[in-house]
Structure 1
Amino acid sequence: MTDGTSSRQDQILKLLLDSRQGLSLDEIAAALNISRNAVKQHIVGLENSDLIKKDAFKITGGRPSRNYVLTEKGINRFPKQYAWFCNLILAELKAEMGEEAFRRYMARLGAKFAETLMPQFNGREPAERITALIETMQTLGYHAIEDQNNSLPTIQAFNCVYHDLAQQYPELCEFDRALISALLDRPIEQIRCMACNDCSCQFLIKHK
């Protein structure tokens, strides 16, 4: 967890994670056995990175002291384990629904997600939709580009955002296909898939 922070700043973040009600400069200094001024310097860096923020004043019998707490960005710096939970849900869904119904369900999810993004695509020409799709996929983490080396326009994605899950549940690819097709308002064909050990996922954009 040292990306962009020093080891001392990491220690401060961990202290605040364990003390969600917040800690004062003096409390942090005492916990780390460093000076109050040293803590203040680290606090400034963490505030500038939007990892912590000032909270309410703390009344301790003496003068009020300002508490510091983690921001949402600070909380999200700590590891999260979502994969096992997603795997549990997907396994139950597939077992209860059956393979074909599960496949259709993932396609519906992709189409529904596309509806939330559609205002960015409505009224655009086909080429503009492709550009907007690339930007959207980049935001979602797909690391996508338009590959113009084929007879038909092709979207190429170099990162599968749920690669391990897709290897176990290839039906997840229906989500991508439905999403891309809906946003482009064109039929598409997936000709490469990283979950099948290809180097990228590739989607041919067909004519209407």
Structure 2
Amino acid sequence: MSQEMLSRQDQLLELLLNSRKGLSIEEIATRLEISRNAVKQHLTGLENSQLVKKDTLNSTGGRPSRNYVLTEKGINHFPKQYAWFCSLLLAELKDEMKDELFRAFMRRIAEKLAKTLKPQFLGKNLAERTELLVEIMQSLGYHADLSTGPVNTETAIEAFNCVYHDLALQHPELCEFDRTLMTALLEQPVEQTGCMANNDCSCLFKIKLNADCV
């Protein structure tokens, strides 16, 4: 797809963002100063990408026309500042708490999340729980995998990215959330021996596989 077409589609999305009631093909063509056929082509591509959709049918006394609006995906296509806002919140919380209280706060959040996920882990042995945990991490955007030690008595979960890396650089206490969540779901102590926020190549979480837990 050409750069010009991408630029036109971005312009079209911005038009719809500023016209929440939607615009017709004719209105879009007029504002972008392009043909109706060109607008239809752009709209087809944006519909296929689920960024826009047909909405209300307008009756102007002549031939009815269909308005186009942004979908939720289309609205979310525009930049967000979630990390920036989260950083403000965490910085404020940390100022209000002592270090250990802030760490305890992270542990409480992890424990509450673990309770909602716990039913998925019921009836599974440690190896199965570990595999399920990796699947959940992958669904959250982690590039995570299992790493087994040479004597097969020690298993680790290795994540090659951090989904909140910039936040973890500023607030390393976030790692307490990961460790607590993993420990609660695996029902086994987890030790973090590698952290990307500390310039390690990956985040490594070691789980001891005792014979009575497998």
- TM-score per shorter chain, which class? over 0.9
2:173 matched to which residue of 1? 171
1:108 is matched with 108
Identify the residue that residue 153 of structure 1 maps to in structure 2. 155
Task: State the partner residue of 2:13.
Answer: 13
Cα distance per residue 1:66-119 (max 9 Å; x no partner)? 111111111111111122211111111111121101101101111111222222
Alignment partners' CA distance in 2, 1:81 and 1:126? 38
C-alpha separation between the residues in 2 aligned to 1:178 and 1:73?
Answer: 33
Structure-2 residue corresponding to 1:162: 164
Give the drift of 1:53. 0.9
1:198 match: 200
Identity of aligned residues (%): 65
Alignment of 1:34-183 (within 5 A): 34-149=34-149, 151-183=153-185
- Aligned partner of 2:107: which letter? A
CA distance in 1, matches of 2:188, 2:164: 24
3-state DSSP of counterpart to 1:68: strand
Q: Which runs of 4+ in 1 moved over 4 A?
A: none
Distance 1:64 1:117 in 2: 50
Aligned to 1:160, what secondary structure does the other structure show? coil
2:26 aligned partner, one-letter code: D
Normalised TM-score (structure 1): 0.92
Deviation at 1:30, TM superposition (A): 0.9
**RMSD, aligned CA:** 1.8
Letter of the structure 2 residue corresponding to residue 98 of structure 1:
K
- Measure how far apart 1:183 and its partner are: 1.7
1:188 corresponds to which of 187, 190, 208? 190
Amino acid at match of 1:60: T
User: CA separation in 2, counterparts of 1:7 and 1:122?
Assistant: 51
1:54: Cα distance to partner?
1.1
Alpha-carbon shift at residue 58 of structure 1 (Å)? 2.2
| Unaligned runs of at least 5 residues, structure 2 | none
- What residue identity is the alignment partner of 1:152? E
TM-score (norm: length of structure 2):
0.90
